[in-house]
Structure 1
Amino acid sequence: MNWTIRSVVLAAAVGLLATSPAYAMTGGTPARSADAPWMVGIANVGDTPFLQRYRCGGVLISPTRVLTAGHCLDYSAPGDVEFHIGGKVLQAKAFSTHPDYRMMSSTVDPNNPQAEVAVDDLTIVELAHPVAGVRPLPLARTALRPGTTLTVYGHGITAPPGPGTSYSELLLKASLKVQPASVCAAEDKSGAASDPSVLCAQAPGMNVCPGDSGGPVVASEYGRPVLAGLVSSGGEIVGKECVQGAINEFTNIPALRSFATQAHPVWAPRLQGLLKLAGTPVIGQTLTCAIPGWKNPKPVSAIDYHWVHRKTGSDDWYYEIDGARAASFTLTKAQAGEDVRCMVTAKNQGGHTEYLTDPVPIP
């Protein structure tokens, strides 16, 4: 479930709208939007219908802050996605992913990136403008004991992926119970279930499945709803994708509350302008990926370059050009009749961002 643009590129096939698969539920029932005004839908920017661009869920925790799963937005840029909240569509100013966020392979399906499991799976989103008229969801303050009732919300498919499955236009909800970490650890041998940042939960009649990553997991604290977790992974990590009764591993919000509520996060790298190609797009000439500068006060600790190509006029995937991993690339006859682009991945303590140049046709 960690299928970002980067992972597809490194597999030598770049889909420009490739996203982290989100996860939603089997066994869910329709929820009223009035019951979850803080629910956020995260989609790729574009002109196609919303559900075709849907990426993940999220939750509004202040007029300018959204929380979602780290795997939903790490290796993305703020301008790539939009946030649907209370009938409004908003843009992000910046992201900050937990510094200890990492993905681990499933021991059941180690070669499948969509079956990976995460720890410290949390990203803070700073919105470009405050949300008015929507009540944010407060964060749980106390640790959640086994047996605590949770309600998970999300859009998404309601059966295992296959022909004809699609995300749900309806907001769905389902109830489940907090379980001891040992319940998840008995099936998930990766070690993630024992991490303090992971909350184990289960119910006989539900499981999360494609469409709901990053969505809110809600508990009751002193009679009011509070954010207890975020959807991180479900039965897919143990070979039971969308199987009712399978384990769920959520981001444990009480354990990560200090990170989620900090006043001044370290924001992931943000470009000051557009990433562009410099040089003459002719065989034998050199193109350079021109970075205009960074907005961040914190330094960028690492920058990676990838050059990708596809036949001009094609709707096919972009593929990585073997060995093209520097800021500059000299065009060869192999690129004749192709579109070429450069992709930059930048990293700091706030996470990773990726930027792509516009395509340049090579005659």
Structure 2
Amino acid sequence: MKVMLVVFWITITAVSIGLAGVSGDKIIDGTEARPHSRPYMAYLDIKSLFKRYACGGFLIHRNFVLTAGHCKGRSINVILGVHNLTKPEPSVQVIKVKNMIRHERYNKKKLENDIMLLKLEKSATLTNDVTIINIPNSTQNFRNGTLCSVAGWGKTASSGYGSNTLREVDVTVQEPCKDPKMICARGTGQKGICNGDSGGPLICPDNNNSPLAVGIVSYSDTKCCEENNRNDVYTMVSAYRSWLDNKMSQYPLV
């Protein structure tokens, strides 16, 4: 069973940047990330017609954020440079999304081609706390057993609320995955992703041991985030590199 990892809420406590106290999704059995140690991370504040929800994302260009296709809404604000959603942080940049570019063959039921490029209304200002993460080329793949990591502001339990602070957990690539355009990964025991972590990056080391965003959080194969040794499924970024390059070239930079 494919369970999308977004989360919905009705009310928001107006604290700091307006995102504190929301119901959200969180890393299971992980630890709090060192503040601003993942400066490419983006928190997506998404509005649809009747709901408001959150996803993750990551900055791949001053003008573009990458996330999951199922994170599309009527409007999205991208929050960069944030660690704790409840506290004012001078590093924070809030930028509206101008264009939501979801893959043309996105399949909501099967969660196929679950990828979306967000064109920002204005360029992000690159700082120590807001940086770009590299993505793989079309030929880069990661073998079974590769140790990677994932982070998000999602739930720490299936019935819980979203985390106020960014959390992270180590996971290991599992082969084969059911779809050649997806990556399966799991942590030990209950470790892994949960609701609200959708759209965040799966980070693996490249040949120089530098972080590379190789996957996008898509779904978990179980309803319960606490199930032991479950597979979490990520959209494989390298499989869509040509699509990404083509789409980015179609939109004027600001």
**What TM-score bracket applies, with the shorter chain setting the length?**
0.7 to 0.9
Contact 2:218 2:235 (C-alpha < 8 Å) held by counterparts: yes
Q: Give the equivalent residue in structure 1 for 2:152.
A: 154
Cα shift at 1:245: 2.1
Q: Give the equivalent residue in structure 2 for 1:179.
A: 174
**Matched letter for residue 209 of structure 1:** C
Contact 1:68 1:124 (C-alpha < 8 Å) held by counterparts: yes
Cα distance per residue 1:213-257 (max 9 Å; x no partner): 0011101102211101111111xx334333242110111111112
Q: Give the equivalent residue in structure 2 for 1:81.
A: 76
Cα distance per residue 1:15-59 (max 9 Å; x no partner): 899xxx97532111110232100100001369xxxxx95510000
TM-score (norm 2): 0.77
**Matched letter for residue 70 of structure 2:** H
Contact 2:171 2:187 (C-alpha < 8 Å) held by counterparts: yes
**Matched letter for residue 149 of structure 1:** L
Larger radius of gyration, structure 1 or 2? 1
1:172-211 aligned within 5 A:
172-181=167-176, 193-205=177-189, 206-211=191-196
Identity %: 28
CA distance in 2, matches of 1:219, 1:262: 24
Q: Give the equivalent residue in structure 2 for 1:251.
A: 235
Q: Which has the higher contact order (CA 8 A, sep 6+)?
A: 2
Cα shift at 1:94: 0.2
1:183-332 aligned within 5 A:
193-205=177-189, 206-221=191-206, 222-234=208-220, 237-264=221-248
Contact 1:63 1:136 (C-alpha < 8 Å) held by counterparts: yes
Contact 2:26 2:153 (C-alpha < 8 Å) held by counterparts: yes
CA distance in 2, matches of 1:84, 1:224: 24
Q: Give the equivalent residue in structure 1 for 2:34.
A: 32
Alignment CA distance shift 1:135-1:171 (3 Å): same
Q: Is residue 134 of structure 2 the alignment partner of residue 138 of structure 1?
A: yes
Cα shift at 1:89: 0.6
**Matched letter for residue 178 of structure 1:** V
Contact 1:27 1:244 (C-alpha < 8 Å) held by counterparts: no
Alignment CA distance shift 1:254-1:261 (3 Å): same
Secondary structure at 1:258 match in 2: helix
**Matched letter for residue 121 of structure 1:** D
Secondary structure at 2:246 match in 1: coil
Cα shift at 1:210: 1.4
CA RMSD for the aligned pairs?
Answer: 2.8
CA distance in 1, matches of 2:5, 2:209: 38
Secondary structure at 1:25 match in 2: coil
Alignment CA distance shift 1:122-1:22 (3 Å): farther
Runs of 4+ in structure 1 deviating by more than 4 angstroms, as ranges, are 1-4, 263-267
Cα shift at 1:92: 0.7
Cα distance per residue 1:160-190 (max 9 Å; x no partner): 22xxx21101100000111112xxxxxxxxx
CA distance in 2, matches of 1:123, 1:22: 20
Q: Is residue 56 of structure 2 the alignment partner of residue 57 of structure 1?
A: yes
**Matched letter for residue 136 of structure 2:** A
**Matched letter for residue 143 of structure 1:** N
Cα shift at 1:103: 2.8
Q: Is residue 95 of structure 2 the alignment partner of residue 90 of structure 1?
A: yes
Unaligned runs of 5+ in 2: 13-22, 82-91
Cα distance per residue 1:322-357 (max 9 Å; x no partner): xxxxxxxxxxxxxxxxxxxxxxxxxxxxxxxxxxxx
Secondary structure at 2:36 match in 1: helix
Alignment CA distance shift 1:159-1:264 (3 Å): closer
Contact 1:154 1:172 (C-alpha < 8 Å) held by counterparts: yes
Alignment CA distance shift 1:202-1:42 (3 Å): same
CA distance in 2, matches of 1:159, 1:16: 20
